[in-house]
Structure 1
Amino acid sequence: MTDRLDFFSRRCAWVNGPIIVGAGPSGLAVAACLKEHGVPSVILERADCIASLWQKRTYDRLKLHLPKQFCQLPKFPFPEHYPEYPTKKQFVDYLESYAKHFEISPRFNQSVQSARYDETCGLWRVRTVGAGAEAGRWLVVATGENAEKVVPELEGLGGFGGDVIHACDYKSGEAYRGKRVHVLPREVLGKSTFELAVLLMKWLPLWLVDKILLWLAWLLLGNVEKHGLRRPSTGPLELKNTQGRTPVLDLGALAKIRSGDIKVGCDFFSKDGFPKTPFPNGWKGQSGLYAVGFTRRGLAGASSDAARTAKDIGRMWKEETKPAKRPVACHRRCISQI
């Protein structure tokens, strides 16, 4: 309670427009679309550059996995001379050009510590580490699906004498030339889900492979619906193919749900307004909260989220900044009694 009072007692700098958290593709796209609607914004980025995930936490030989026409951001196509599958460097250069074209200047080294909605004044108060706080009417979370790496706790790992790195820290295989390297994937019955699916699809149709994967999931996880987790009737491959939804890999959350440490709600939005709905309606929360780039549709989904968010905020912006009509003067006729 003391922390909450301290948070709201801090003096906040007023932001005339939305506060965007994250200067990756999603954050840049939102800022650009907002400009098209005449809405100013502020981007807070914890790193010292735009698209820090692409620049610092991806391997050197990375290329876009989809043709460029499906990965370009709104209002600004890729250069014509770019190949169909741009490289990591080309994509970063494209993002730099995107920011320059729309005159987007994120505030770097601004790590957001907390964000809370003040119901008394209808504003979002965003606190950054060591730099004070900002207050604004709208908050757009565009930190990305893979902003934080997940490192599982493995027995005996602490006593291992070799190097241990996360996949996001891998740059190239040159550092491991001539060495023995063990890659630890997320596995199901000794094989990764993807490997198992590919193996089965050599002989079986997609619908049957999905049924087998559903049965294996039930065998391993049991009945999770009694804990408030509704599982889709379709399999993971068909679900991804038709709706763009990616199955969740359990890394310990299920055990905490079963023990009661994590409570499962059934509302359309969580209590802080974060949307749970998948693409295409998962971009809007409550109280002026938006989430861009979390709908499991890659860069195309992020662009769609950005356009919808900007249009929605732009509509409210125009309503709230519309000049008030001056009242028409009413002239009274004075009648004197004689």
Structure 2
Amino acid sequence: MPPFSSEQRSKESHDYIFEKSPILWFDGAIIVGAGPSGLATAACLKEQGVPSIILEKADCIASLWQHRTYDRLHLHLPKHFCELPLLPFPRSFPTYPNRRQFIQYLQDYADHFHIHPVYSENVLSASYDTQCKIWRVQSVNTSKGLSGQKREYVARWIIVASGENADVSIPNLPGIQAYRGSVIHSSKYKNGSEYARKKVLVVGSGNSGMEIALDLANHQAKPSLVVRSPVHVLPREMFGVPTFAIIMTLLKTLPLWLADRLLVLSAFLTYGDTAKYGIKRPSTGPLEIKQTTGRTPVLDVGTVSKIKSGQIRVMPAMECLISSGATFIDGHSEEYDAIILATGYRSNVPSWLKGEERNFSAEGISTCGWKGGRGLYVVGLSRRGIFGAGLDAKHIAEDIREAYLSEQQAYLKRFRVSSR
């Protein structure tokens, strides 16, 4: 294949994708996932003159945000910590953009950089061919027109950008078959309008669980929130300044332990002793927990106030479900009309990326940072949020660019010799 400009290579490769051949060579990088991480990496690669193609199993970009989030969702961090590389949020957007604004930003981002993922392309497996030194990605298309069509994509580089939240995480609930009410995962929850005057149990006390309980209370439901283990709850803003901005400043000037103590003190001054409401604080500081386990503290947007007023009840860990509700570890039972599982999501990388166990934990989280070797790169799987993914996208693009230009120069040299 003769060398082309980056725009020509991108066009040629995209045209070639839809030929009938089941094996498709791509001159550039294959990106798995069209969420914020995948879009950011594609844009950074384009800036460096490296073509890429995104394979996305859903029918749109950012499917988690578009199809599996609740209506009242806003970014928990200020927008400048959540913008993707090379294109800031519009100035007209508020400090904490809502769900629709963030989706619009991502769509504008894809349009701005002319990013066109291959949708409904479900990656079944990806493995490194040690003999040919290439990545082989097997996929099946699930769109109506091409349903069931299998293909193999072949490229020098692969970028895992399928996200930490690819699949829902549903715990094993003893007694669930006996329960007569409705049970849904938070990915199916939109708003509390259908739960007005109903008793609803929210299982999970992370940011999603806290916000869903708040939304239910605002819709005149009667929510209870299961808080199974100690959790740090911090106000979203302190003294009118975003808490995340304060955290970033503290970490630049103070040791971790001291920053943790100041945050816990600020939370105590804001909320008082939350243990008397059923929310115990961990003995380990919020930043140390984030660093060691990846668990983020809850940034409160009004839930604690509803708990204090009694509009949201806090329950201990659940023991099992019964026909009319749930029994808790303290021995008492409650009746509920519905149960919402705010039990989070998990990575699906272990199900399709083969032979790279050394670079990922059993949960599919990167243990190699953004570079795994042999042309493998990872973005958005290090529990550092959108901010960290943007930084990794830049590093990946710069690293691939060096190898890409080197290979192009080597090809040109061979091409000139053979043309004589």
TM-score using structure 1 length: 0.72
Matched to 1:25, the amino acid is: P
2:68 maps to 57
Q: Which residue of the other structure, out of 305, 318, 328, is the alignment partner of 2:405?
A: 318
Q: Which residue of the other structure, out of 287, 292, 295, is the alignment partner of 1:238?
A: 287
Cα deviation for residue 294 of structure 1 reads 1.1
Q: Which has the higher strand share?
A: 2
Matched to 2:47, the amino acid is: E
Q: Which residue of the other structure, out of 83, 90, 97, is the alignment partner of 2:94?
A: 83
Which has the higher mean CA deviation after the structures are superposed, 169-178 or 104-113? Answer: 169-178
Q: Distance in 2 between matches of 1:183 and 1:275?
A: 31
2:34–2:117 contact (8 Å) kept in structure 1: yes
Q: Which residue of the other structure, out of 175, 180, 187, is the alignment partner of 1:168?
A: 187
Q: Secondary structure at the match of 1:316?
A: helix
Residues 22-63 of structure 1: per-residue CA shift (max 9 Å, x gap)? 000000000000001100011000000000000111110111
Q: Secondary structure at the match of 1:164?
A: strand
2:34–2:61 contact (8 Å) kept in structure 1: yes
Matched to 1:72, the amino acid is: E
Q: Secondary structure at the match of 1:113?
A: strand
Q: Which residue of the other structure, out of 174, 184, 202, is the alignment partner of 2:268?
A: 202
1:193 maps to 230
1:148 maps to 167
Q: Secondary structure at the match of 2:39?
A: helix
1:20–1:42 contact (8 Å) kept in structure 2: yes
Q: Distance in 1 between matches of 2:389 and 2:289?
A: 17
Cα deviation for residue 185 of structure 1 reads 2.2
Q: Distance in 2 between matches of 1:275 and 1:304?
A: 19
Q: Distance in 1 between matches of 2:358 and 2:87?
A: 31
Matched to 2:382, the amino acid is: T
Q: Distance in 2 between matches of 1:158 and 1:195?
A: 33
Relative distance call for 1:134 and 1:236 in structure 2 (3 A) is: farther
Q: Distance in 2 between matches of 1:13 and 1:181?
A: 50
1:275–1:283 contact (8 Å) kept in structure 2: no
Rg (Cα) greater in structure: 1
Residue correspondences, number: 268
1:239–1:246 contact (8 Å) kept in structure 2: no
Q: Distance in 2 between matches of 1:190 and 1:75?
A: 40
Matched to 1:239, the amino acid is: E
Matched to 1:161, the amino acid is: R
Cα deviation for residue 190 of structure 1 reads 6.3
Are 1:127 and 2:138 counterparts? Answer: yes
Q: Secondary structure at the match of 1:152?
A: coil
Cα deviation for residue 247 of structure 1 reads 4.3
Q: Secondary structure at the match of 1:13?
A: strand
1:45–1:108 contact (8 Å) kept in structure 2: yes
1:22 maps to 33
Matched to 1:246, the amino acid is: G
Q: Secondary structure at the match of 1:132?
A: strand
Matched to 2:393, the amino acid is: A
Cα deviation for residue 110 of structure 1 reads 0.4
Matched to 1:193, the amino acid is: P
TM-score using structure 2 length: 0.58
Matched to 1:99, the amino acid is: A
Q: Secondary structure at the match of 1:153?
A: coil
Q: Which residue of the other structure, out of 260, 274, 278, is the alignment partner of 2:359?
A: 274
Cα deviation for residue 274 of structure 1 reads 2.6
Q: Distance in 2 between matches of 1:48 and 1:133?
A: 19
Cα deviation for residue 146 of structure 1 reads 1.0
2:69–2:188 contact (8 Å) kept in structure 1: yes
Q: Distance in 2 between matches of 1:104 and 1:197?
A: 37
Q: Which residue of the other structure, out of 372, 375, 379, is the alignment partner of 1:292?
A: 379
Which has the higher mean CA deviation after the structures are superposed, 170-179 or 317-326? Answer: 317-326
Structure 1 stretches of 5 or more lacking a match? Answer: 1-9, 204-211, 215-234, 249-269, 328-338
Relative distance call for 1:73 and 1:245 in structure 2 (3 A) is: farther
2:139–2:151 contact (8 Å) kept in structure 1: yes
1:222 maps to none
Q: Distance in 2 between matches of 1:306 and 1:116?
A: 22
1:236–1:247 contact (8 Å) kept in structure 2: no
Q: Which runs of 4+ in 1 moved over 2 A?
A: 189-193, 195-203, 270-276, 278-281
Are 1:115 and 2:126 counterparts? Answer: yes
1:72–1:300 contact (8 Å) kept in structure 2: yes
2:74–2:99 contact (8 Å) kept in structure 1: yes
Query: What percent of counterpart residues are identical?
Result: 46
1:273–1:286 contact (8 Å) kept in structure 2: no
1:68 maps to 79
